[in-house]
């Protein structure tokens, strides 16, 4: 991933929001609000249907469900309901005859914001060793600790154990801080290069692994580059709206992208290396979210007819 790209997001929903306000449709991208009566949850389906849509959205062709609820990482009694809803959408992407499913928990167990995948996988009901059919799982680790590309590790195990489907769980990077721990993305496109908190260099998808790949992710960090651009835009807008500061606001809005880039590239924060922004209580949120995700996957995988 280009970490200098302050607009990057792993979420198709956020990518689509770049075009908000523009009435015209994007050719090849279908966006649909879905009803959900069981909980106060906003569900959106983004479908990228052709190359044009993929180019505009900077994401592969396929289906992206986005489940949004502020209460997702709060301490509520709704976690069972959330898990059931999640299970339905996961199940809708599971190929009918998939019997052996390999769950892969991506990320670094020792880094709060990147531990979501391993934590989810640790709570799954693993059954394949009982009957030679069912759910298996792995936590491949991160390249800095294994010395190997994560995608190669998953590929090797896939070839050797022949699952019919891979379900990958990963912590994502979002553009907006309000999405941290409040949005679940489920997609049948797998993991594409450069995505995730840990910036997977190689993708993990049907093309590279030879098996369908469902990816489930939750944003746990915002890159500081996204944050700063967001703040700039917000302040420009706010200042422009107020009489006293209108001139400053307009000047800020008029600043061209090139000038912004050249100033931003030298910011002290950049020199301090790749920085992430996360809520102070991210550890507790990750525990709650991993509970909902693992329950959702358990239901989707084990309760199928």
In eight-state DSSP terms, residue 244 is: G
Q: Which is nearer to its own copies, 42 or 123 (CB)?
A: 123
Q: What is the closest distance, in whole angstroms, from the C-beta atom of residue 291 to its own copies in the complex?
A: 12
Q: Which is nearer to its own copies, 138 or 167 (CB)?
A: 138
Cβ count near 218 (within 10 Å) = 30
And the tokens for 81?
């309901």
Q: Which is nearer to its own copies, 37 or 254 (CB)?
A: 254
Q: What is the closest distance, in whole angstroms, from the C-beta atom of residue 65 to its own copies in the complex?
A: 23
d(CA 191, CA 173): 13
* Closest among 179, 166, 248, 268 to 218, alpha carbons compared: 179
Q: Which is nearer to its own copies, 78 or 127 (CB)?
A: 127
SS3 track for 13-59: HHHHHCCCCCCCCCCCEEEEEECCCCCCCEEEEEEECCHHHHHHHCC
Q: Burial of 62 by CB count in 10 Å (0-12 exposed, 13-18 middle, 19+ buried)?
A: buried
* Closest among 16, 11, 4, 56 to 178, alpha carbons compared: 11
Question: Does residue 3 contact residue 225 with C-beta atoms inside 8 Å?
Answer: yes
Owner of token pair 């002290």: 268
Q: Which is nearer to its own copies, 280 or 305 (CB)?
A: 280
Q: What is the closest distance, in whole angstroms, from the C-beta atom of residue 177 to its own copies in the complex?
A: 4
Q: Which is nearer to its own copies, 21 or 268 (CB)?
A: 268
Q: What is the closest distance, in whole angstroms, from the C-beta atom of residue 158 to its own copies in the complex?
A: 7
Q: What is the closest distance, in whole angstroms, from the C-beta atom of residue 204 to its own copies in the complex?
A: 13
Q: What is the closest distance, in whole angstroms, from the C-beta atom of residue 236 to its own copies in the complex?
A: 10
């Amino acid at each position: 991933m280009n970490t200098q790209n302050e607009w990057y997001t792993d979420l198709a929903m956020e990518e689509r929001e770049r075009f908000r306000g523009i009435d015209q449709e994007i050719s090849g991208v279908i966006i649909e609000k879905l009803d959900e009566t069981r909980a106060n949850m906003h569900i959106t389906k983004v479908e990228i249907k052709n190359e044009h849509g993929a180019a505009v959205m900077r994401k592969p062709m396929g289906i992206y469900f986005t489940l949004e609820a502020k209460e997702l990482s709060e301490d509520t009694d709704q976690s069972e309901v959330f898990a059931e809803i999640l299970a339905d959408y996961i199940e809708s992407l599971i190929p009918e005859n998939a019997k052996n499913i390999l769950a892969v928990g991506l990320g670094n167990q020792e880094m709060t914001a990147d531990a979501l995948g391993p934590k989810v996988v640790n709570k799954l009901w693993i059954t394949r060793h009982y009957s030679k059919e069912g759910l298996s799982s792995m936590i491949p680790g991160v390249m800095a600790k294994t010395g190997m590309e994560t995608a190669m590790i998953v590929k090797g195990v896939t070839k050797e154990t022949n699952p019919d489907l891979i379900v990958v769980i990963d912590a994502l990077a979002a553009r907006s801080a309000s999405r941290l721990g409040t949005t679940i993305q489920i997609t049948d496109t797998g993991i594409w290069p450069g995505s995730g908190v840990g910036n997977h260099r190689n993708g993990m998808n049907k093309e590279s692994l030879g098996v369908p790949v469902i990816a489930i992710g939750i944003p746990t960090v915002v890159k500081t580059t996204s944050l700063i651009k967001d703040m700039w835009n917000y302040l420009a807008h706010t200042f422009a709206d107020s009489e006293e500061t209108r001139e400053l606001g307009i000047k800020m809005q008029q600043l061209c992208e090139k000038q912004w880039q050249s100033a931003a590239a030298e910011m002290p924060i950049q020199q301090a290396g790749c920085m992430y922004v996360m809520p102070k209580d991210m550890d507790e949120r990750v525990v709650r979210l991993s509970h909902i995700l693992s329950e959702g996957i358990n239901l989707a995988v084990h309760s199928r007819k």
